[in-house]
Structure 1
Amino acid sequence: AYNLIRIKDGEEWKTAFRTRRGHYEYLVMPFGLTNAPATFQNMINDVLREFLDVFVVVYLDDILIFSKTMEEHKGHVHQVLTRLHQHELLVEPEKAKFHTQEVDFLGYTITPGEIRMEKSKVAAIREWPTPKNVKDVRAFLGFVNFYRRFLKGYSKTANPLTNLTVKEIEFAWNEPQEKAFRQIIDAVLSEPVLRMIDPEKPMEVETDASDFAIGGQLGQRDDQGRLHPVAFFSKKLHGPELNYQIHDKELMAIIEAFKEWRTYLSGARHEVKVYTDHKNLAHFTTNKDLNKRQIRWAEFLSEFNFTIIYRKGSENGRADILSRRSDHEQTTPPNNNAILASDKEGNLIPYHRTLAVTTRIKPAKPPKSTTELIEQVHGAKAHGHQGVAKTFARLRKHHDFKGTRQDVTAVIRNCNLCKKSKAERHRPYGELKALPVPTAAWESVSLDFITSLPPSKEPLTGTSYDNILVVVDRLTKYSYFLPYKATGTAEDLAYVFLRNIVGQHGLPKELVSDRDKLFTSNFWKSLIAQLGAKHKLSTAFHPQTDGQTERTNQTLEQYLRCYINYQQDDWVTLLPIAQFAYNSSPSESTKESPFYANYGYNPTAYAERREAPDTPKATNIAVNIRKIQEQIKLDLELVRTRMTTTI
């Protein structure tokens, strides 16, 4: 296949070679050039680019075409062959297979819903000779490692063999090694099977951690309830990870499993069940006492729909085996293990088969709190109240400092002497000029868009929206949250505004908005002028000029983040409830709810339950609305309080 690519004119001399028959240069790309594989892969990707991952997978000259039906497949094959013909690329009929449901691809045999080891590759292990030295052992393990994803308990079985590859252990082939060697061969010859992922079925994750590694399994159950493995993973721990508490190691196993299979687990149609043998993790999602690392992990996990279930270690065997891979275990010489085990700060490292300290020797001093030490070093006359970077570097170099850069930043920001003595690094603040207070309700309104949201359909019409138009009366704070399309024109905006605002409250005298293209369009300007209203635009590149609507947007976004589903496609149905909750909550500035300020009475959130026909679906909706309204009021009050303290 390489010979199908010509060498660039004038560059043939780079491929020159000499023989006894004379000097020769390649005119086409030969095998052996360093960049030949990348060049060929880039070429074939360009040729089939629009088909890649749609119905084609390509690795160098191996082209795999996949389809759901035979008729669809014939069309796909025709498109690929036509494209190859257009680029004068030839296909060997003897090496090609057409219209088949079983194919060998990159060492695997792929059939509908399943993946196996390729039989021709497996046959090579049947007569594999017994290893005679470490090099032979590594060759054998290298071959079976390619298929380890199929082998249950591989690490445990291969442990006697992997121990032979450690430099400090003398090679000796005895009964344990022979037994492991034969067990692995038998396991490969049994041709185990992995199932392909089915996004319509629930997924289960099993994880576990040991002192030196973490591991996990992704699986799905068939119609008879039997669990079938889909994928395995394991990872060796390094550096500070080795010093994590067992709780954090077990939690890290879940984090890495979700990262490994994020493509499958993010947006899963069903709740993902996560099984762990660490009982405390079952309450992780409701625990409020988290350290900084756990907070970061909790934020990452927030995008997934899952539940953590405790299961005894004896019942969590698959993941337990993966986390105890012998080739992940540390191989430090025995005489140093006790010393390294006592070093919890990570100051000692193995170095040329001896122990070395990673930092200079520091004088022993009575321990101080992190804050006291930072204040002492930062405020010393010899150090001159320097900035974060220099203070942090000095602490690391001359003191036994266990804090972080964030700790240093927090202390220096609160240093009164620095605030009084150091020059400002920003431009002077401008004079605050608040907009005049309207004299009547709906005399002045502000408008803004929340943009770039995931598409969401309106249940009755099926119309898909991706923006929200927020309209706020500047006196009463009464707000409208209206779904809108990013493709909407100024004419569409005018219709929405006239129908929902002017039709309900009359024509306002003044409109305040940012400089969105719809608000600055000639049509919108002309319409507002002819209606006799004034239009005030925010300062360029400073949308906070319209602070009222910006704060309302933040409150609405906070609400949507709390109650949107995992697919993020139901926010249109939440807008009416969000609008009611916002308007029925007391405003921090007016001390009254926008609803009361606008209509003169407080709305009824929900009445006492009356006897009604037993309709479970309607009951669930009503109960859900009541719960959401109660929680929203708490959330809105908290958000408004935070905004008031930060403005």
Structure 2
Amino acid sequence: MKEEKRKNIEGAERRIKERKKKEKQNKVEINHVEKTEKRRKEEIKVEGTTMEIIRYTGADINVITEEAVKEIGMEGYETEEQIVENIFGTKYKLTKEIWITYKAGDTDRTDRFRIVEAPGMRILIGKDTLGEMEENGKAWRELNQEYKQILGEEATGKVKGVVAEIETIPGKRITMKGRRWEYKTMKAVEEKVEELESKGLVRRSRSSWFNPIRPVWKPNGKIRLTLNLYFLNKIVANDRYSLPRMQEVIEAAQGMEYFTVLDLKDAYFQIELREEDRHKTAFYVGNKLYEWNVMPQGFKNSSAIFQRVMDGILREELNKCCRTYLDDIVVFGEDKETHDRNIRQVLKRLKENGLTLNKEKVQFRQKTVKLLGSYITGRTQEPDNARQKKALRYEEPKNKIQLQSFLQFANVYTRYIQGFADKAAPIYELLKKGRRFIWEEEQKKAYTEIMRECRKRTVTFLPDHKKEFIIETDAADLAMGAVLLQEDEAGEERIVAWGSKKFSEAERKAGITEKEYLAVAFGIEHFKYYIGGSKFTLRTDHKAIEYFENKDALGTNKLERIRDRLQTYNFTVEYRQGKEMFKPDALSRMYTEETNEAERAERMEIVKEEHESKGLHKGRKAMEYKLGRMYEWKDLKKIIEQVIQGCEKCRRNPTKKKGGEKFVEVERPMQLVAMDLVYIDQTTPILSILDYYTRKIWMERLETKTEEEVVRKIERFIGRGLKPEKIVTDAGKEFANRTLQRVLSMNGIEHHMVTPEHHQGNGRIERMHRDWNEYLRKNTEEGKERNVQELIEDFVTGKNQMYRRCIGMTAEEAWKWPESEQLKTSNKRTGRYAREFKEKRREKFKEGQEIYIRRTEMEMNSKIGPKCIKEGMVERKMENDTYLVREKDSGKVKKKCHTQIARKENFTQNDSTTIRGEEHEDRGSRNDDKDNNDELTDNSTDDQHVRNTSGSEICTGYKECRGRGTAMDEREGCRELHELNVADRDINQGTEDGSKSISNRSSRAQDGHGNADGILGKNDQETG
């Protein structure tokens, strides 16, 4: 019995010790507190993550462990060191803190927490915060009872007396069903539509309009149903009502003590849509058609309409006790009583107008709130944790596109960080034109330093317009900067904002004094919103600025003009040495206007996806047309340029730019159709078909390259109702056979075959084949096979949906609307240019005229051999600038295009070949856009050196000739000469040193123009 009793006593003592040890681990509360204080644990949402917290009335401050900070995906900010201790006397050194938004009762709350390393707890809320939470919770519950009509759980309000209108262009209608979505997404969309229908927000429809849906998954796992209304938006006029600047909304908080942020529930859905416009918002979900009863998300005028409504409802309260930005309303007061009175006034207005709030997102009566991406107090502003989270996720850039995305993100911090551009200078070097992307130690060091700055706590002070401002300016070699300052209550200068701007090319050449004056002008004009109409101090480290008012001391008229620009401002100049100044970020290469870095990165991804759509790697014009109809971005062209320049495949496979040779005029679809064969490899033939009027293409894979297979595919094409009036093909055996002629004759279709050995005669389809070959190079890799049919379908779809400048629309649109005035006008304009071009380009030959015949590509086995080797005579002129010519040696009669023959009488035989050309007018410049070279390809050109008979230099090759600044007629005539490539090289042998030389790398032109043709010189005939 004694032994058993002893064991029980020892067990009890052991349990008491363990309990005390556990209590000691849990009681890490800061500063001296009593052991009798009570604690309560509970689980709440912290930055979107469910975590356990401890409410402890014995703690003087709020604390969070390093482990909990990492769990919510954040880092703490460095702050002033503080030594604290718990109730047992254990001391902790605190060097970091963090802002946290968490659920406090029925509302959200934002507080500052100190980060500590302590076992047994994660988040602890101290007595001051708990006292505020209890007091605010009681006041909020009273407001809930008083305004429960607008704080309901399910109800979506309706603004009284307001309807949204969708005024479209008469006669236009949108019928875009959209793509197929994933099964999981569609199930969620169907459930969402049922919910919206039960609430009366949508209804079943019988509309002849329909728009694509665009479901978006939200962070909470729910789905948001929006419409892709870019086609509808294109036929609706813009509502020009402007939204307030976010910075103005934030700066309205200056001097206030308490804030409440209200969020409207399903804001756009609280505005009804005009009855006669509802059918325009119809959309399909499965096989059911719905339409909106309320203003839909995705409509381009929704934000302007809603902002106008909110400004109207709160017109008497705006700027006095609240500000609005779309569905966010911030209410403020200088003290608690004023704040409570203001919040009741705002809630009363909302109730009178039928609006409802989302009480889950309300931040009620707090000294610090999260608003428009920043943490706001009555005195300061700093970026919220979302930006820091993004900074933690960034990895080192691997190419220029990733680098640009990173810099766009970091651009937000130029408002908060001094010396940003100085730190980023090595990185910006990689963005220079022609600079290869090589990530070296210098760039890595700059990147690390910028990321460290982005993760720090960066605070600026809100401007107080009752106090005087100070502007400091500075200039460097490449840029100028300024900083706006104000003194606080303690007399310490605080930063309000940074500003910077790069010098123009002309300004960079100026002297240091002129640059400093430019920096002064920039700083004052950049911050004119703050300092206009009031006195301020201009501070500089450049002594010459002190003599600003002394006209005689300025020295130059340019400085006087700068001074005259600033005469309307009231300021005094103060000189300080550079080490005593804040040193504005003068080396910045970026504008400090705020941008949404997430939106910018998203735009880059959208443009990149469109560029690589269907593997086509589209050019500038095609993407501008497609994306310009979907989005209204001011920087669209700039983003497109960046994406194309950053595309590795486009750089490895540059487009060879060629001019046109011939334009065929047509007036309607299927009037003329081109057909030809193209290949993926040597064993996979494809029949390609192109409509000359609309540029629409079709491609059919052939099992074998036989005339029977080709005829079968053409019969299938005609059988689909696609019956052309005339087709044009080459003279290959697949097309030049009786079977095809019989089929075409039965269907009343004319057949024209182009000149043998002259593929340019069917140039428009040859141009398409060039795009096909580029497509294959960019979308096939060694060792990686792709389905042939998939390649064909992607190319055809993408090409038909690509913008064509020659017709002013896509091929699909032209095929769908062949009577479009825009299409007719574009074809007429292009045709008119083509006729003028043809008259200036074509050379005429007469029957019986002696000529030289150019060798074909197959006959040419050397680039330096003469290209005109046979003599002949014109027998008869045929259609489309072709001729029947008789060879002098063999007596054979062949059909030749005008570019395959040259005048004999225009040539003289000397020791060096001379070409005399006939004078021609300017015939226009070469089209250098890869998306729009729709017409026939030209003949290849070689670099040449041509002189006219007077001996003056015209060019050193066509590529160089274009930029020489020579007269237009000489330059274009020189191009003609190069493109003809007639007698382009003269080989002389037997020189004095016994070496082979090229005495004349090209022919010499008498006047440098037009359709020059020629014969071989004496030495050419001997060595030919």
Please, what TM-score do these two structures have when normalized by structure 1?
0.47
Please, what TM-score do these two structures have when normalized by structure 2?
0.31
Q: Which structure's residues are more often helix, by fraction?
A: 1
Q: Which structure's residues are more often strand, by fraction?
A: 2
